[in-house]
Structure 1
Amino acid sequence: MTASTDIIIPAIAGDGSLFPIEKLQAHREAVFHLAISVFVFDGTHLLIQQRAESKYHCGGLWANTCCSHPNWNETVEACASRRIGEELGISVPLERRRTVEYSADVGGGLHEHERVAMFVASVDRATLALDANPDEVMATRWVTPAGLCIEMRAHPERFTPWFKLYVERYPDLAI
């Protein structure tokens, strides 16, 4: 299990201020915290990833291109760039779009309660050289919004809770 038990992330207090918390503790106690989600597109096709089985939650499930948490004192922009490199071995220009909040049970007694900064990138997949880290990613593929919605309705168990929420809110993937 890839737990990252010593990683400190920014949690959000009731007054909006940030405070440090250990990542696994935030998920065990459903503490509101910062996160990032990245969506890489080639035209209307979205790059999605299947999380490595060894991930501490939602292993083997499909998710958007990249999602993670900034380290304590790291900006969401820096986190998005760092994590897309660590997970998929790519560096692409990212554009910050919107911020969303959600709460979801992710199994195993863990819970996501996040304020997510969403980023998008446009690429040409013919020239994009993915180098997925097997500790993070089992597989990748490109999907269209319509195909993704059909697949999610037919097999919701194959997708992470947050990705299902994103697609429910933005079925055309206009993130």
Structure 2
Amino acid sequence: MSERLITAIDERGGVYPVGKLEAHRRALPHLAISVFVFRGGQTLLQRRAPGKYHSPGQWANACCSHPDWQEAIATCAARRLREEMGLELPLRPAAVMDYRAEVGGGLVENERVHFFAADWPTPAPTVAPDPEEVDAYRWVDVTTLREEVAMNPDAFTPWLRIYLARAGETGIERLRASG
């Protein structure tokens, strides 16, 4: 099986296909998506499955991934939320932010991440995570999440810690909530 191709970004802002693992090994800038699901003041977290090639067992937001080469960003966000968490929800695009984070094993996320937010509907759907992707999930209010990250940062993915620290850049007002 060949390596999945994602969208890398060159120094002039152009895009080109690159293997997903190669992008992380070489710290190449690449496109990403990040989805936050809210139920009132709570956000949905997932704990990454133990078999993930980086950041296994760490808590992250509802869904994070990379668009396949030539896949539309919004299409990727909806697809990966469905594949990872079994959820089909209307997604609202938010902001775009660049960040870089070491994720262990010599791998680096160097992402231009497109944020999306969704509200938990009534009637509530069933969360049905793919065990290859997600080990567990839970709801937590943003204030408690910030406290947990401060007390035990290694339990959370580097990107979630960055999103919380730079919440104003995500375009998701509820991440800025402090009580």
TM-score category of the 2 structures, normalised to the smaller one: over 0.9
Residues of 2 paired with 1:58 and 1:151: CA distance?
17
Residues of 1 paired with 2:76 and 2:109: CA distance?
18
Q: Unaligned regions of 5+ residues in structure 1, if any?
A: none
Task: Say if 1:159 and 1:5 are closer, same or farther in 2 by CA, change over 3 A.
Answer: farther
Displacement over 6 Å in runs of 4+: none
Aligned to 1:151: 148
Q: Which amino acid aligns with 1:35?
A: A
Aligned to 1:173: 175
Q: Where does 1:101-116 land on structure 2 (aligned, <5 Å)?
A: 101-116=98-113
SS in 1 for 2:44: strand
Residues of 1 paired with 2:30 and 2:125: CA distance?
32
Aligned identity (percent) is 45
Asked if 2 retains the 8 angstrom alpha-carbon contact of 1:29 and 1:111, the reply is yes
Residues of 2 paired with 1:5 and 1:83: CA distance?
20
SS in 2 for 1:132: coil
TM-score with structure 2 setting the length: 0.92
SS in 1 for 2:165: helix
Q: Deviations over 1:35-59 (max 9, x none)?
A: 0000000111100100001001000
Aligned CA RMSD, in angstroms, stands at: 1.7
Asked if 2 retains the 8 angstrom alpha-carbon contact of 1:5 and 1:23, the reply is no
Aligned to 2:134: 137
Q: Which amino acid aligns with 1:53?
A: P
SS in 2 for 1:53: coil
Aligned to 1:78: 75
Task: Say if 1:125 and 1:41 are closer, same or farther in 2 by CA, change over 3 A.
Answer: farther
Question: How far did residue 124 of structure 1 move?
Answer: 3.6
SS in 1 for 2:127: coil
Equivalent residues, number: 172
SS in 1 for 2:175: coil
Residues of 2 paired with 1:160 and 1:147: CA distance?
16
Q: Which amino acid aligns with 2:68?
A: N
Q: Deviations over 1:136-169 (max 9, x none)?
A: 0000000111100110011101000000000111
Asked if 2 retains the 8 angstrom alpha-carbon contact of 1:5 and 1:24, the reply is no
Q: Deviations over 1:15-74 (max 9, x none)?
A: 111000000000000000000000000111100100001001000000011000000000
Question: How far did residue 11 of structure 1 move?
Answer: 0.2
Q: Deviations over 1:118-146 (max 9, x none)?
A: 00000147612011000000000001111
Aligned to 1:100: 97
Q: Unaligned regions of 5+ residues in structure 2, if any?
A: 169-173
TM-score with structure 1 setting the length: 0.94
Task: Say if 1:125 and 1:23 are closer, same or farther in 2 by CA, change over 3 A.
Answer: farther
